[in-house]
Amino acid sequence: MTISSSLNAGVAGLSANAARLAAISDNIANSATYGYKRVETDFQSLVISSGGGSYSAGGVRSSTHRLIDESGPLVPTSNPTDLAVRGRGMLPVAAASQVEIGNGDPQMLLTTTGSFRTDAQGRLATDSGLVLLGWPAGPDGNVPEFPRDTSDGLEPVQINADQLTGEPTTEISLGINLPGTETDAGATGESRRLPVEYYDNLGISENIMIEFAPVIPASGSSNQWTMTLTDSAQDGAVIGEYSLTFDDARASGGTLLAVSTLSGGAYDPANGSVIVNVAGGPLEINIGQLGASNGLTQLSDSFAPLSISKDGSPVGNMVAVEVDANGFVHASYDTGITRTIYQVPLVDLPNPNGMVSIDKQTFIPSSNSGSFFLWDAGDGPTGDVVAFAREESATDVAGELTDMIQTQRAYSSNAKVIQTVELSLAVAISLPVEIISCVLARLPLIDCRVCRATMALLLVRMLDIECSLACGALHRFHFPARTGRSRCRSDVCSRRGSPWLRHPFRDARSASGTSTNGMLSQKVRLASI
Examine residue 166 and state whether it is found in any structural domain, yes or no. no
Examine residue 215 and state whether it is found in any structural domain, yes or no. yes
Query: Same structural domain for residues 326 and 294?
Result: no
Confidence check: pLDDT of 204 > 60: yes
Give the residue from 279, 311, 343 where a domain finishes. 311
Q: Is beta strand 384-387 parallel, antiparallel or unpaired with respect to 60-66? A: unpaired
Q: Average the pLDDT over each of 29-43, 68-82, 87-101 and give the range with the smallest value.
A: 87-101
Q: What is residue 34's DSSP assignment?
A: T
Give the residue from 391, 411, 444 where a domain finishes. 391
Query: Same structural domain for residues 264 and 186?
Result: yes
Q: Which residue has the higher pLDDT, 36 or 528?
A: 36
Give the whole-number percent of the chain exceeding pLDDT 70.
Answer: 78
Q: Which residue has the higher pLDDT, 38 or 435?
A: 38
Query: Same structural domain for residues 49 and 82?
Result: no
> pLDDT digits over 14-23, tens only?
999 999 999 9
What pLDDT was estimated at residue 47? 80
Q: Give Cα separations from 204 to 311, 314, 438 (angstroms).
A: 14, 7, 110
Confidence check: pLDDT of 409 > 80: yes
Confidence check: pLDDT of 49 > 90: no
Nearest-CA neighbor of 305 among 317, 316, 296?
Answer: 296
Q: How far apart are CA 467 and CA 469, in angstroms?
A: 6
With beta carbons less than 8 A apart as the criterion, state whether 36 and 72 touch.
Answer: yes
Examine residue 165 and state whether it is found in any structural domain, yes or no. no
Please count the other Cβ atoms lying within 10 Å of the Cβ belonging to residue 77: 15
Confidence check: pLDDT of 3 > 60: yes
Query: Same structural domain for residues 375 and 351?
Result: yes
Confidence check: pLDDT of 489 > 50: no
Strand residue runs (E) in 58-125: 60-66, 74-76, 82-86, 91-95, 109-111, 113-115, 117-118, 124-125
The mean pLDDT value for 34-48 works out to 90
**Number of domains composing the chain:** 4
Strand residue runs (E) in 299-432: 304-310, 313-323, 328-333, 338-343, 346-348, 356-358, 362-364, 373-375, 384-387, 389-391
Query: Same structural domain for residues 112 and 16?
Result: no
What pLDDT was estimated at residue 315? 85
Examine residue 403 and state whether it is found in any structural domain, yes or no. yes
Query: Same structural domain for residues 233 and 343?
Result: no
Q: How far apart are CA 214 and CA 318, in angstroms?
A: 46
Confidence check: pLDDT of 524 > 70: no
| Residue 494: half-sphere exposure toward Cβ, Cα within 13 Å | 5
Examine residue 200 and state whether it is found in any structural domain, yes or no. yes
What pLDDT was estimated at residue 253? 85
Give the residue from 311, 343, 374 where a domain finishes. 311
Examine residue 33 and state whether it is found in any structural domain, yes or no. yes
Query: Alpha helices of 381-516 — where are they, by DSSP H?
Result: 397-429, 452-460, 504-512
Confidence check: pLDDT of 518 > 80: no
Residue 59: phi and psi, rounded to 5, are 90, -155
CA distance from start to end of the chain: 30
Query: Same structural domain for residues 113 and 150?
Result: yes
Q: Give Cα separations from 528 to 127, 318, 437, 486, 490 (angstroms).
A: 79, 99, 11, 18, 14
CATH (domain of 207): 2.60.98.20
Examine residue 127 and state whether it is found in any structural domain, yes or no. yes
> pLDDT digits over 265-319, tens only?
999 999 999 999 998 789 999 999 999 989 999 988 789 999 999 988 888 888 8
Contacts of 426 (CB under 8 A, 6+ apart): none
With beta carbons less than 8 A apart as the criterion, state whether 40 and 67 touch.
Answer: yes
Examine residue 29 and state whether it is found in any structural domain, yes or no. yes
Confidence check: pLDDT of 126 > 60: yes
Confidence of residue 387 (pLDDT cuts 50, 70, 90): very high
Give the whole-number percent of the chain exceeding pLDDT 90.
Answer: 57
Confidence of residue 365 (pLDDT cuts 50, 70, 90): very high
The range of the structural domain enclosing residue 207 comes to 171-311
Partners of residue 92 on adjacent β-strands: 110
Q: How far apart are CA 264 and CA 241, in angstroms?
A: 6
Query: Same structural domain for residues 300 and 187?
Result: yes
Q: How far apart are CA 157 and CA 164, in angstroms?
A: 18
- Cα angle, residue 455 at apex, residues 452 and 456 outer, rounded to 5°: 80
2: alpha, beta or left? (left if phi > 0; alpha if psi -120 to 50)? alpha
The mean pLDDT value for 170-181 works out to 93
Query: Same structural domain for residues 382 and 399?
Result: no
Confidence check: pLDDT of 447 > 60: no
Query: Same structural domain for residues 224 and 258?
Result: yes
Query: Same structural domain for residues 60 and 14?
Result: yes
The 3-state DSSP class for residue 197 equals strand
Contacts of 294 (CB under 8 A, 6+ apart): 175, 288
Query: Same structural domain for residues 355 and 375?
Result: yes
Q: Average the pLDDT over each of 40-54, 242-256, 411-425, 470-484 and give the range with the smallest value.
A: 470-484
